[in-house]
Amino acid sequence: MPGVRVGFAMLAAAVVLAQPPNEAGVAPGAAVSDGRPGEAFADPRVAELQRTASGIQRELGTLADQIHDASAAVARTSDALAAARAERATADDAVRAQQVDVDRFVSAVYANDGQPNQLQVLLLAQSPKDFLDGSSLMARVQEQRAEEFTAALRRQQDAVAAEGTAAAAEKDAADRKTDLDRRNGDATNRAAAVTDEFHAKLAATNTAVVAQQQAQQARNRQTAANWHDYLAKLAAGDHVQILPPDVVRAVSTAVDALGKPYVPTQGDGPNAYSCDGLTRAAHGLTGSAADQMAVLQPVTDPQPGDLVFLGPARYGVQSVGIVLDPRTMVTADARLVGVVVEDIPGGDTVLGYARPSLPRRPQQPVPARTDNGLRWRCGGVDLPSGAWSGYPNGMIPAAALCPVGIGDHRLRCDAAQAFQMMSAAFGQTFGRPLCLTDSYRTFEEQVRLYGAKPALAAVPGTSNHGWGLAVDMCGGAESFGAPEHRWLMANGPRFGWTNPPWAQPGHGREEPWHWEFG
């Protein structure tokens, strides 16, 4: 395809590389490429802190469940002990009553020289013979009194034993809860220590991410301007169209997505993308980056619109980009939390190229993850706790979040964009934007809130606020049945926002003000 090769060179010169390479051979304005495995968070201590923080957060979540169960057990055993003590008191009263009765009977017997009182005989006799046989009746009366007293004593003994068992069970439950509270406090303290150390690193990371994003914005704008200028010239007949129409459409889709936010899942656009979601949208593909590499025809002479699959191999196929020229690609980068123009990395990071316009091949094996360390996705760490872009819950740099247009509130970028759209629609009905009291919540804030309201607040490190995916609203939205809340219930899902089931009436934790994205 010589024509395409010539076109590739022209595209590289006219579209992407707006300025000549510098002395190092790298195009000026190229993105700093620390968003890829082996370069992102190069300090191994940061990766270890991420792993430690994630482990502590899972531990806190487990402890919270265990403490809840232990509290319920303490309540149950306390109720059982109270019931046992009540039965013991009743049994004690019965024994005392029987003792008084026995004492009175014995005194009466002795007062009558061992002969039964005639009234007692009359009342207790069951036959003429019993009435005439006073000694036999006396024996029966004595036996009856003894049996009643013995039964009362036996009931008392059983009640004492049950009370002891209940007291031991309550102590065991209380001791378990005390131990869990101690372990929870220890884990919280360890989380705070990790947080302090992590945030020292995070401050430097935030500064670096801000600088990268600013450089990326300039580079994205220049690339988009060059591409649209190229298309305009093609339309005017200034150049021979050297790229197939499907390639032009794919590259146009990728360039038009520049600046859109990165999301780890459901990232097929048009408002936000994952790396493989971008290639699905641009080329009509399906599946993950690994799935795409498995069925697309590999090539060794990458052209515009081809896909470049990224590793290294020990991480598996963890990312994919759309080729613009021999050195440049468009990808949704987790570390820069957006669709960006980046340099195609060198070395063993590139696992191969493929051409979506060629016929599909039978599914072939692709590099699979063999590294047992941190997982990577789209150039960022993918922690098992659900972290996105590699940041633990509540420890996301401000530069990785986007403003929602209300005060200083920030959310994950796709959530922020959807919230702004929802707020605008809300304003058309009520004449004012939505009201917010809370959005992204740092880990320290989660710890402080959990300490103040343990029955209401999520366990630190597990709150959707800590992922930038939850808000607390006001201005009427905080009340079930209010016009504002009814509007949100009817319209929020259109924008991806819902009041989760656990927060709705009848589920034990009614929170009409709490809404979550996605």
The answer to the question of residue 272 being in a domain is: no
For residues 428-455, average pLDDT: 83
353 token code pair: 């190229």
Give the pLDDT score at 60: 78
**Residue written as token pair 């009856």:** 144
Task: Provide the residue type at 289 as one letter.
Answer: A
Q: How many CB atoms lie within 10 A of CB 181?
A: 14
Higher pLDDT, 133 or 515: 515
In this predicted model, what pLDDT tens digit does every residue of 391-431 receive, in sequence order?
A: 667 877 777 788 998 999 999 888 898 999 999 999 999 99
Q: How far is CA 4 from CA 15, 224, 297, 358, in A?
A: 15, 21, 18, 15
Reference 51, options 311, 319, 464, 381; nearest CA is 381
Pick the more confident residue, 120 or 255. 255
The answer to whether the peptide bond before residue 460 is cis (omega within 30 degrees of 0) is no
Residue 428 lies in a domain: yes
**Domain tally for the chain?**
1
Closest CA to 49 of 264, 200, 207: 200
Between CA 172 and CA 78 the distance in angstroms is 11
Structure tokens, 478: 């905080």
Residue 196: pLDDT over 60? yes
Is the separation of the CB atoms in 50 and 381 below 8 Å? yes
Q: What is the mean pLDDT of residues 272-280?
A: 94
d(CA 247, CA 330): 14
* Of residues 20 and 387, more confidently modeled: 387
Instruction: Report yes or no on 407 lying in a domain.
Output: yes
| pLDDT at residue 15 in the model | 45
In the predicted structure, residue 53 carries a pLDDT above the cut 50: yes
Contact 320, 331 (CB under 8 A): yes
pLDDT of the residue at 50: 64
How confident is the model over 343-354, as a mean pLDDT? 93
Helix axes 245-256, 134-236, angle to 10 degrees: 120
The β-bridge partners of 298 are 354
368 part of a folded domain? no
How far apart CA 428 and CA 315 sit, in angstroms, is: 48
Q: Name the pLDDT band for 507 (thresholds 50, 70, 90).
A: low
Asked, for residue 348, whether it belongs to a domain, the answer is no
Q: Please identify which residue in the block is written with the tokens 């036959």.
A: 127
In a domain, 424, yes or no: yes
Q: What is the reported pLDDT for 95?
A: 79
* Pure H helices in 237-362: 245-256, 275-283, 289-295
Lowest mean pLDDT among 80-84, 90-94, 196-200, 354-358: 196-200
Question: What CATH number has the domain bearing residue 415?
Answer: 3.30.1380.10
Instruction: Assess if residue 69 is contained within a domain.
Output: no
Which has the closest alpha carbon to 465: 513, 406, 407? Answer: 513
Residue 361 located in a structural domain: no
Find out whether the peptide bond into 270 is cis, omega within 30 degrees of 0: yes
DSSP letter string over 114-154? TPPPHHHHHHH--SHHHHH-HHHHHHHHHHHHHHHHHHHHH
pLDDT at position 79 over 80: yes
Q: Round to whole Å and give the CA distance between 517 and 495.
A: 8
Going by pLDDT thresholds of 50, 70 and 90, the confidence category of residue 100 is confident
Per-residue confidence (pLDDT) for residue 38, from 0 to 100: 31
Structural domain including 409 reads: 401-517
**Three-class SS state of 354:** strand
- Rounded distance between C-alpha atoms, residue 177 and residue 76, angstroms: 13
pLDDT of residue 453: 66
Residue 262 is given by DSSP the state: B
**Which of 130-144, 287-301, 393-407, 445-459 has the least mean pLDDT?**
130-144
pLDDT value of residue 515: 97
Mean pLDDT computed over 290-312 = 96
Whole-number Cα distances in Å, 129 to 120, 133, 166, 415: 15, 6, 50, 97
pLDDT tier, 284 (very low <50, low <70, confident <90, very high otherwise): very high
Q: Are 402 and 261 in contact (CB under 8 A)?
A: yes
Positive or negative: CA dihedral 211, 212, 215, 217: negative
Provide the whole-model pTM: 0.56
One DSSP character per residue, 203-234 reads HHHHHHHHHHHHHHHHHHHHHHHHHHHHHHHH
Phi, then psi, of 130 in degrees rounded to 5? -60, -40
